Amino acid sequence: MKKLVYFFTIVFLITAVSCDNFEEINTDPNKTNAVTPAMLATQTLKDSYRFWNPNPSDFTSGNLFNKHITMMETNPNPGQYFYSYYPYGSFGAFTRLTDLNFMVQFAAGSQYETAYEGLAKFLKAWYGYNMTLDMGDIPYSEAGMATEGITRPKYDKQADVFAYILADLQEAESLFAQAVNFDGDIMYGGKVAKWQKLCNAMQLKVIQTISKKATADQKARFAAIISSGNLMSSNDDSFMLQFSENPNATYPMWNGEERRNYTGVSELTVNSLKNFNDRRLFYFAEPAAAEITAGKAASDYSAYVGAPTELAAEQLALNNAAGKYSKLNKRYVEFRDGDPMLYFSYAEQCFIIAEAIEEGWVSGNAQIYYENGVKAQLQYYMNMPHTADFVHGMAIDQAYIDGYFTGNAAYATGGSKTDRLQQIWTQRWLIDFFQGNGGNYQLFLRTGYPVYPLDPTTSLNPEDPTKYPKRWMYPTDEQTKNPINYQQAIDEQYNGFDGINQTPWWLQ
């Protein structure tokens, strides 16, 4: 489950610019050493999208909740067994709204004003989307208004929060449509056309996330956005964080061989890829040592054995020592400029639309969107550097992609709607393999698929080991910083109990 907004490790001249020390720097835009809107944009994007603690140990832990990988140590990691070392959400990202307000203020009257206004709107919506999924009702309409005297913001109902988020995304899209390319953007290089497409795609994701509660107007808006055609059209439009050879912008898993030796690819991942005869298996994993010893080739699908995420830690460690499982591919620790962190890909957009077609929200050919999404993700790995010597003789090439849709990978046109939706959801889930971006645990909560293994005898869910957590608790400091609004929020939503198994509005 996405827990905190993650951060990107990159050092710029503006590292000192933050909410905590803003008063210590020159904020007069008329002075030559003033903070500029571009500097604040860079800092805020860095703080928003880098991994929260970029080291191999924490990066692997941050990938556990979505069941792509398995830790194989004697000490059980709570993230693998449906809990967390710190089971609380965070409102910390909203502290960045101060910097965003200054960014817009400093851009006033310039040709870039509209672009920075769009960025500020988008980021507030991004923060709010993740926070409300983490916790439920949150302060949104009054967030970032401390300078106006609102230090104890009200908690908005979750339905209202989603409405505010969609309104901000729509406004951001309109602003970017009128804007010129701007400076300080580490994600898209300041290209407003790409931000505009992202704002539209993000609205689709938000509306589908609340599919159980989406109104007729919201579904109509979903259809209108698709009809407009101004959406991502290829992997070039994907929203991702690139790493580099710069020591301050290093892939979090780089040089993590010791950690890799205890990191297995999950049984759920391995079996899903085998089911599709999907060569991403050879990009993600190493063959199990015991299978190689038994004479199997590294290019043989059967040489790959996934580690069950629900198995007791002690048994996993013993089986790992015996070479029974496939470990994480060695390429993940070899390169400073490792796999980019995908936050919203063109492939995911395709799967969102394919699901909507199957559900009757929009007309179209779901098979085309399904196949385009899969092709895009396969091409993403085909074109990724640093893979040539790490794919065990099973490289993805165009001929393989062209022949992919056979057997269980072929769209189930002759099956049931459920069969087809499960194909879409599985492929969407695979996008986030070892991405460290928080993933789509909420996709599982909404759809129940792919089925995440849960064994009550190993589950660390303290409230009920037979259940999957649906949320994180509110930050503990809310009980002192904003006690009245905090108490009202848990009373009205969860009958006074701020628990991880409580069901928020969007899942009811």
Could you write out the DSSP letters of every residue in 439-484?
TTHHHHHHH--SPPP--TTT---SS-TTS-----BPPTTHHHHSHH
DSSP state of 236: G
CA 507 and chain centroid, separation = 19
Parts of the chain with a pLDDT under 50: 1-29, 31-33
Q: Which residues contact 289 (CB under 8 A, 6 or more apart)?
A: 323
Burial group, residue 171, by CB count within 10 angstroms (0-12, 13-18, 19+)? middle
Question: What pLDDT score was predicted for residue 35?
Answer: 79
Residue whose token pair is 């007069």: 28
Rounded CA separation 73/65 (Å): 16
Question: What pLDDT score was predicted for residue 437?
Answer: 86
Question: What pLDDT score was predicted for residue 99?
Answer: 95
Task: Please state whether 153 falls in left (phi above 0), alpha (psi between -120 and 50) or beta.
Answer: beta
Rounded CA separation 6/8 (Å): 7
H or E stretch covering 84: none
Report CA dihedral (468, 474, 477, 483) to the nearest 10 degrees: -140
- Pure H helices in 313-433: 313-321, 346-358, 366-382, 398-402, 417-431
Rounded CA separation 83/505 (Å): 21
Dihedrals φ, ψ of 241, to 5°?
-110, 120
The length of the chain is: 508
CB atoms inside a 10 Å sphere around CB 388? 9
Minimal CA–CA distance to 365: which of 347, 376, 379, 350? Answer: 350
H or E stretch covering 241: strand 239-241
Residue whose token pair is 């951001």: 172
Question: What pLDDT score was predicted for residue 23?
Answer: 31
Question: What pLDDT score was predicted for residue 367?
Answer: 98
Rounded CA separation 458/471 (Å): 20
Minimal CA–CA distance to 93: which of 115, 54, 123, 116? Answer: 123
